Each structure stands twice: as structure tokens, then as C-alpha cells.
Chain A
Amino acid sequence: MKKLILARKLSQVLFLSLFIYLLWLTPHTAAFFKIDPLISIFSLFSLIMLGAALIIGRFFCGWVCPLGTIIDACGIKAKNRDTGFLRKVKYYVLGVIVIFAFLGIQIAWIFDPLVITARFISLNFIPSFTLALDKLFIFLIKSLNFYAPLYDFYRMLKLSILGTKIFYFPHSFITLSFFVIICGLALITKRFWCRILCPLGAIYALTARFCLLRRHVDKCMHCMTCSINCRMSAIKEDSSYRKEECILCMDCVYDCPDLATKFSWPGKNTGRRTEGSISRKDFLFLIASSFLFLGFKGKEEGLKKKLIRPPGVKNEHEFLNKCIRCGNCMKICPTNGLQPAIFESGLIGIWAPHLVPEIGYCEYNCNLCGNVCPTGAIPKLSLARKKEQKLGAAMIDKFICLPWSQNKECIVCEEHCPVASKAIKTYEEVIAGKKIRKPYVDISLCIGCGICQNKCPTRPERAIKVLP
């Protein structure tokens, strides 16, 4: 019985399911980011996690991290290889993130494992899973004529977990390929990402160097089984190990033919200090190379298009720095209107949320996006405050608008306007004996929620558009 391994696998599956559950069905999606030292270094919970790493080691990577679990699953059949000095790369990644942070540019969102997983689950997994489930039900109900009980069950699902709307993100293949590449690297060697690239792993590695829990081998026969099998390539050929690389997966305890490997608290024979993971020379080189990036700063300023940001966002620069692109707001937005940007707001703004009124508008009675934002990039607002937020202002294109250009009755925009006193007003004009009402926008009342643009019946271009 490999009890310890069983316990680890159980914990991994449990945390992965918890992660998906929180993202899918609850508004408490920020919980996982509160324990992430890379994102919220000063939160109490991440300090507790670092403290725990100081005692036990990198247990987070091996037992908790949802991305680690998925990578483990991908690499189950992969050959294990020695990655050698490449393991240093992750310290460079961390270093670049920290240096950029000091320069006032936040790029942790590119590499944080929790963010990568959350983004994949929100933008790829849940939409495709619900779509597949929905289509399956439609197939069963419609073509096999399975009405009554199954249909009622389907309708109940639609109003609860399945959602009345199947979400759609036009550019989600980019997040998907990013995720697939990271997991696919595990086919080259087990835990490729965790060994070589993960900056969160680097933080834990720096802490775990001093941890108290240690691995001991009594009377080693030098069969090298543990060293070859180690998924982190942490065990050296002489059966000693790099403490900061060990994620406590417990494989070596059971791989050892003599069962001579044990993990224990410090006693009389404490292991020797591990060798340094990053040298002073490396560190200086890192800083010098990072400054090269500075040359590009501000070059794209003029190219940036302004986008409609979520309600309550005031300062674009501050928003982009706080946003970690986890996708929580896009998952929770009931109309599917919040979408990840691609290059619309420059390189710095990739994957940050913006409102696309053609897909969905900002629901008037809703402040969920601010509530789920883990970093406060979208401010948490009371419902009354949120209703006052201006996202932009609507503008009517008289060459497309049906009443203006074709003298047809319409004013769908006025009908849907959620502002109690209507931000869209109408002129009445009598043309050929028919009263036609032509809409115009009262900018002082318009909150830019985009419902007018969403519901405008003209295609392909909408006659009313919200400009940020």
C-alpha cells in the first residue's frame, strides 16, 4: 500500500475539483488567488502558505496546485529526463516579473500557474463542456423524441448549473493553445513547466531551501532508481537531493527497493546545506538584461485604442497593472459581454477584460465582476454605486439607424435603455401621414451599458454604438 502517494493523489484531485467548483458555481472565485504569494504577497493567507513552505517545503506544487495536477496527468506516460541547469530559468522568470513590478508594470499574469488554470477553465473548459452537454441533451430530446422527464431535467439544469446562455469567447483558442503548450511540455519530460518555468514554483523553491522536513536515505545501494524516476529531477546521482526542487510527491519513498528513503524532521544527522540555486553573477546578468525591455516602454502609446472597461474602472494604466487576467469576471458576467482583449489595447493589455456589446451588454442590476475580482482591478461597488458608473456613451449612426435612414418604426434602443428616465430620447416626425419617432442620445444620462448596441436589430453593423 502506497499510502502517502494515495494521499497525495487524493489531495490533488480534491483541490482541482474545488478549484473548478469555485469557478463554475460560486462567486467566491478569488479564494485561490488569496493564497498565491506571486499575486497577493501581502495577504495573510499567502504569508501562511510561505510559512508552511518554510517548514514542510514545496508541498503546494505537489499536493495542491491545480496546474501541477493537470501536468502530472499529462506526463503520466512521458519519459523522465534530466533537465540539468535549465532549472535555473524559473528564477529568471521570477526575477523579470519582480523587476517589472518595481518599474510599475505587472506581468505576473503571463506565468502564474493559478491564473493560467483559472483562465483555461473559465474561457475554454466551462464553455466547451456546457456546449457539449447542451448539444447532447438537444440531440436526445429533439431527434430521439425524449420529451417529458428528460426535458424537465434539462430545463432545470438550464436555470441552474448549465446556464441559460452558452458562453462564447471568440479568441479563446489563444488561451487554449497557451494552456495546451504548457501541459504538452510534460510529454518531453515530467513536470517540465514546474521544473523549468514556473515563477510561483521559484518562490516556493527559494523558501523551501530552508525547510525543516528533509529526505534521508539509510545505507543507499546506489541503484539510482529514485534519481531516474524523480519527476522534478531533484535527486542527484549520489542519492542526495536538491531540497528546493523536491515537491514531496513521495515517489522515491516507494521506489527505493530497500525502502531506505524516509522523510523526517531534523534530528541529529541533518543533511548538508544545499548548493545555491542562483549565483550572484546570474543575478546581475538578469538585472542587466531586464533593463533592455525598458527600451520598448511607451513605444506603443499612440497605437492604443481605448476599450470599454468593466464598470468602476477609472484609470486604464492602474487597471492593467492590477488585472491578472484570470478570467473570473468573464466567467461570471451574466451576458457574456466581458471578453478578453487581444491586441486592441497594445501588448500590455492582452487578455484584460473589455465589454463587447455585440456579444453582451452590462447588466444594469449586476455588480458581480467587481465582486469576483481577486486583485481589486475592477473595484467592488455596491449595486447603487455601480448603477452610476459610466462605461462610455452611446452614439447613433444616422446612416444605418432605421428611423433616421429609412423612416421605419423601431426605437428598440429606447425601449431597452435601463436608465429610469431613459438616456435615449426621441423626436416625433410625421412623414407621409405616419408618425415616426427618431432616437437621439442624452449623453448626460447615458451610462454606456451597451444594451442598446446589443439589441439594435441592424446587421451587420449596429446603428447605435457605445464609445468608451
Chain B
Amino acid sequence: MNKVSIFESLPKRKISRKGFLKLCGIGAGSLALNNALVKFAFGQEEASAGRTVKKIKGLHDLVVAKGDDPYVMTVKAIEAMGGIGKFVRKNSTVLIKPNIGWDRSPEQAGNTNPYVVGALIDMCFNSGAKRVNIFDKTCNDTKRCYENSGIEKIAREKGANVYAPDDWNVVKAKFNYESPMEGWPIYRDALECDTFINVPILKHHSLTGLTISMKNLMGICSGNRGLMHFDIGTKLAHLTDFIKPDLNVIDAYRILKRNGPSGGNLADVVDMKTLIVGMDPVLCDAYSCVLMGQEPSSMSYIKQAVKYNIGKGDYTDIAKADILTINV
């Protein structure tokens, strides 16, 4: 045996014409197969006409709770509305959609108060819900928003499913009237739930003036969401009509007065210690506007919702509405 030096020639392999053609054939064939497989695996897209309406009526049009403990306020307000049993049936799937858009702490009032979410989860499970889903399409990094808002922790403790929405699991919105939202991708889980509980935080928003329950529904939209800002009033109105949330719980415990929606400065945060519960998102939003000293018709989305007859949002509607105020 002898050592082989590196300078000796390396083995060579020859290829015949037939072999070359065969190789090309195999390559093309596998590419075609791969294409077909990818289409089969990832290529399906469905359209949906939105959630079916149940039109559950509570005892009042709106319940406004004031107090010091957001958890207790939520429980009492819903009880005054007739109890969560009206909205959540046994073995049903509930989607709670809080605002977890920003990488901010609860004190900075960028996201929904975690205790409001916690109270809702507890009530849903007590009412016999099989599954409680919680998600939001975040503006900052998802993991950080979920952690720093405190919502992930409290929801996991109480047994709810917190997860990041998947952009591949969407349906295309379909409307039976002409809409700028036609074909917009919406997360499937927002539609495939028995009860949709919308839990926004009331805060300042630079473009729309205030972000409340209708604006909070943007968190179930996939796609290039920046483009929704053009003609946002109509888009939000149609989106609300598409989803038709069963229950809106507006957290106004701490509110951001300026520099919304992201905030970050504690000087901009004011304690309001209020919670608003209602079935009609438009009425809820209109009432919140009045609460903040603004005119409902100055909000483009309320104006459009009234125009399309999606909900009640005029001053006269608020005056006529059955509003119960409780102190907790």
C-alpha cells in the first residue's frame, strides 16, 4: 500500500448522450410533479359571505360600568346585560378579540386591559364553552406584543388558546353589495366561531379620531393592511357588517388621550375607570365618542355605518337607547 498524493488526478465520470437526456427528463418530470404537489397542498382559497347573524338581545342596549377593579366591572356589567349564558352556549367555540396591537405595557394603555380579557375567559368557561380562542394581528412583533400586554399570560393561566394568526389560513371576503373590502383576506378563525366577543380599548387614533370596536376588527384582516386606510370609514363599516360581532366589551379603564394609537408616554394616559358593554358595535362606538366629548358623526366609520344601515349611531339613537349605568 502506498500513500496517494493530493496531486494525483481525481476520479472522472463520463456521461453518455442517452444518460444526459435521461437526466433532463427526470429533472423536468420531478419539477412538474413538484409544481402539482405545491398547488395541491397550498393553492386552495375559499370565499365567504361572513358570519351568520344570531341577533341576540340583551336586557339593555348598553351597560356602562364604573369602578376600580376591571375584572369585577366586566363581570357585573355582563351580568346586568343578562349574563354571559345569553351569548355563549354549551360546547361552543368563542373568539375573544382584544386589541394587542402594540408592544406596550398595560399602564401605557396601548392594548386592552388583561383583566377584562381574563374575566371574559372565566365567564365563557363557566358558561360551558368548549374552546376560547384569542388572537390579534399585531403591528409590532407578535411575541413581544403578546408578552408585554400581559394578555398571553393571563389567558394561558385561564386555559384559553392564545396564538398568532396564520396568513395561510384565510378566506376571501364576499359581499352581496359593492364594497371596497371585496376579496380581502380574513382569518378563518374569525368566522368559524359560535360567539365573537370584540374587546377593544378606547383610545386616540390619529387617522380615525378614536379607535373603538369597529376599528378593532381590523385585527382579523390579513394582507397589506396599510391600504385599508384609504376610505377607511366605508371599509370598517363593511367589515363590521361582515363579522357582526355578538358582543362588544369596550375597555375604557385607562385611555390614551393623545399620540395614539401606539402611545408610550404615561403623561398621555388618563384613568377613566369605565367599561361599556353592548351588542351593536356602532351604538357602542357612538356612545364612546360622546363619552370622550366628540361628535359621533365626525367619525367617518360611524357615518358610513349609519349610511349603510349597519347599526345605530346618531345622537337621537343614543338618546333613545336603553342605557344602564352601574357603579361597582
A138-B41 CB under 8 A given contacts A158-B164, A418-B262, A420-B259 = yes
Whether the Cβ atoms of B226 and A457 lie closer than 8 Å is yes
Which residues on B sit within 8 Å (CB–CB) of A227?
3
- Least CB distance from B103 to A in Å reads 5
**CB interface residues, A 400-414, toward B, < 8 Å:** 402, 408-412, 414
Which residues on B sit within 8 Å (CB–CB) of A225?
1
Whether the Cβ atoms of B103 and A155 lie closer than 8 Å is no
- Least CB distance from A102 to B in Å reads 33
Which residues on A sit within 8 Å (CB–CB) of B44?
142-143
Indicate the member of B142, B262, B268 with the most A CB atoms within 10 Å: B262
Whether the Cβ atoms of B265 and A152 lie closer than 8 Å is no
Whether the Cβ atoms of B5 and A81 lie closer than 8 Å is yes
B interface SS class: loop
Smallest CB gap from B229: residue in A:
A410
**CB interface residues, A 78-111, toward B, < 8 Å:** 79-84, 86
Whether the Cβ atoms of A142 and B161 lie closer than 8 Å is no
Which residues on B sit within 8 Å (CB–CB) of A314?
none
Verify if A279 is at the interface (C-beta below 8 Å from B). Answer: no
Pick the contact of A82 from B6, B148, B161 — CB < 8 Å? B6
Verify if B20 is at the interface (C-beta below 8 Å from A). Answer: no
Bound-state Cα–Cα, A331 to B268, Å: 35
- Least CB distance from A387 to B in Å reads 9
Bound-state Cα–Cα, A7 to B270, Å: 65
Smallest CB gap from A426: residue in B:
B206
- Least CB distance from B185 to A in Å reads 14
A364-B161 CB under 8 A given contacts A188-B10, A411-B229, A415-B206 = no
Whether the Cβ atoms of B6 and A83 lie closer than 8 Å is yes
Smallest CB gap from A457: residue in B:
B226
Which residues on B sit within 8 Å (CB–CB) of A155?
161, 163-164
Q: Mark A434-468, 1 if CB is under 8 A from B, else 0.
A: 00010000000000000000011101000000000
A82-B5 CB under 8 A given contacts A142-B41, A142-B44 = yes
Bound-state Cα–Cα, A141 to B44, Å: 13
A189-B144 CB under 8 A given contacts A143-B40, A158-B164, A411-B206 = no
Verify if B263 is at the interface (C-beta below 8 Å from A). Answer: yes
Verify if A224 is at the interface (C-beta below 8 Å from B). Answer: yes
**Chain A interface size, under 10 / 10 to 19 / 20 to 34 / 35 or more:** 35 or more
Pick the contact of B207 from A165, A415, A418 — CB < 8 Å? A415
A363-B140 CB under 8 A given contacts A81-B4, A411-B207 = yes
**CB interface residues, B 124-165, toward A, < 8 Å:** 139-144, 146, 148, 161-164
Which residues on A sit within 8 Å (CB–CB) of B141?
164-165, 334-335, 363, 366
Whether the Cβ atoms of B42 and A139 lie closer than 8 Å is yes
- Least CB distance from B301 to A in Å reads 12
Whether the Cβ atoms of B262 and A228 lie closer than 8 Å is no
Q: Give the number of residues in B that approach A within 8 Å (Cβ atoms).
A: 47
- Least CB distance from A420 to B in Å reads 4
Whether the Cβ atoms of B230 and A410 lie closer than 8 Å is yes
Q: Mark B262-293, 1 if CB is under 8 A from A, else 0.
A: 11110010000000000000000000000000
Which residues on A sit within 8 Å (CB–CB) of B231?
408-409
Verify if A419 is at the interface (C-beta below 8 Å from B). Answer: yes
Verify if A237 is at the interface (C-beta below 8 Å from B). Answer: yes
Verify if B227 is at the interface (C-beta below 8 Å from A). Answer: yes
Bound-state Cα–Cα, A82 to B166, Å: 54
Smallest CB gap from A79: residue in B:
B4
Pick the contact of B229 from A138, A156, A421, A457 — CB < 8 Å? A457
Which residues on B sit within 8 Å (CB–CB) of A412?
226, 229
A142-B6 CB under 8 A given contacts A334-B141, A334-B143, A408-B230 = no
**CB interface residues, B 40-63, toward A, < 8 Å:** 40-42, 44
A420-B263 CB under 8 A given contacts A82-B3, A363-B144 = yes
Which residues on A sit within 8 Å (CB–CB) of B262?
415-418
- Least CB distance from B32 to A in Å reads 18
A228-B144 CB under 8 A given contacts A155-B161, A409-B230 = no
Verify if B98 is at the interface (C-beta below 8 Å from A). Answer: no
Smallest CB gap from B211: residue in A:
A415
Verify if A431 is at the interface (C-beta below 8 Å from B). Answer: no
16 contacts between A and B (CB under 8 A): A84-B6, A135-B42, A138-B41, A142-B42, A158-B164, A159-B163, A165-B141, A228-B2, A364-B140, A365-B103, A409-B207, A411-B229, A414-B207, A420-B265, A437-B206, A457-B224
Task: Report A's interface with B, CB cutoff 8 A.
Answer: 79-84, 86, 135, 138-139, 141-143, 152, 155-156, 158-159, 163-165, 188-189, 223-225, 227-228, 237, 334-335, 363-366, 402, 408-412, 414-422, 426, 437, 455-457, 459
11 new A-B contacts at CB < 8 Å, known A228-B2, A402-B230: A79-B4, A81-B4, A143-B42, A152-B163, A164-B142, A164-B164, A227-B3, A409-B231, A412-B229, A418-B262, A456-B226
Q: Which A-B residue pairs are the 3 nearest by beta carbons?
A: A457-B226, A420-B265, A155-B163
